[in-house]
Amino acid sequence: MRLRLLLATALLGAAGTVQAFDYTGTHSVVAVTRDGVRTAIGRVEFAPHPQGGAGFKVGIDPAVMRDHFLSMREFKCLPAEVEITCFVPYPYASPARVKPGDLAWLEHHLLFFFKQPRDYGAKLWNGMVFKLREEGNALVGEPQAIDLNRLGVPPERLDVPLYGAADRDDFAPGARWVVQLRIEPTQKP
């Protein structure tokens, strides 16, 4: 009887365990829109970093993120009738390293801006960074407003993220078409 009770307790404990985010391998970048649609827009590849934590590389899926020529530049954008969301690659060298509780560089490699479909050109003052947090086996990001025009001037220090807490503002809930960015384990077919 005691053995069965111990076994049942162990099984219940294992089933109730929350899985932590795995900072290795390939993960999907998923945009969640206001209507609840989830669209895989790219991937992040994590690998151990020699100085600790994990290094990463971000790739955007060109089959999903379509080319838009805006303000004399090509951007990869997620089209929608409500709002177009465009990816902006971080243009400077960076450590490209993360660790639990320190996701700032990954946030900087997932910069976007938004525009109305009827608007002409890129509106870089309408920038977005997604404030990431660990949630079970995923990283979940909520959009924050930033001015991407700051990218036009190289930062003094390449080892410090450009956009700190003072450079970000929260959006009202549901103000943006993409309401969440998730980094999740890649689903196997």
Alpha-carbon distances of 157 from 2, 23, 26, 64, 164, rounded to whole Å: 61, 26, 29, 34, 13
Q: What is the pTM assigned to this prediction?
A: 0.86
Neighbours of 80 (CB within 10 A): 18
Tokens 């980094």 sit on residue: 183
Task: Give per-residue pLDDT as tens, 31-73.
Answer: 999 999 999 999 999 999 998 999 999 999 999 988 765 555 6
Residue 74: the pLDDT is 75
Tokens 């945009």 sit on residue: 31
Residue 79: the pLDDT is 85
* DSSP per-residue codes, 92-141: S----EEBTTB-HHHHHTSEEEEE-TT--S--GGGEEEEEEEEETTEEEE
Dist. CA 35–CA 151, nearest whole Å: 31
Under-50 pLDDT residues of the chain = 1-15
Residue 111: the pLDDT is 96
Query: What is the DSSP pairing of strand 73-78 with strand 25-33?
Result: unpaired
Going from N- to C-terminal start, the domains of the chain cover 24-185
Query: Torsion-angle region of residue 52: left (phi > 0), alpha (psi -120 to 50) or beta?
Result: left
Tokens of 183: 């980094």
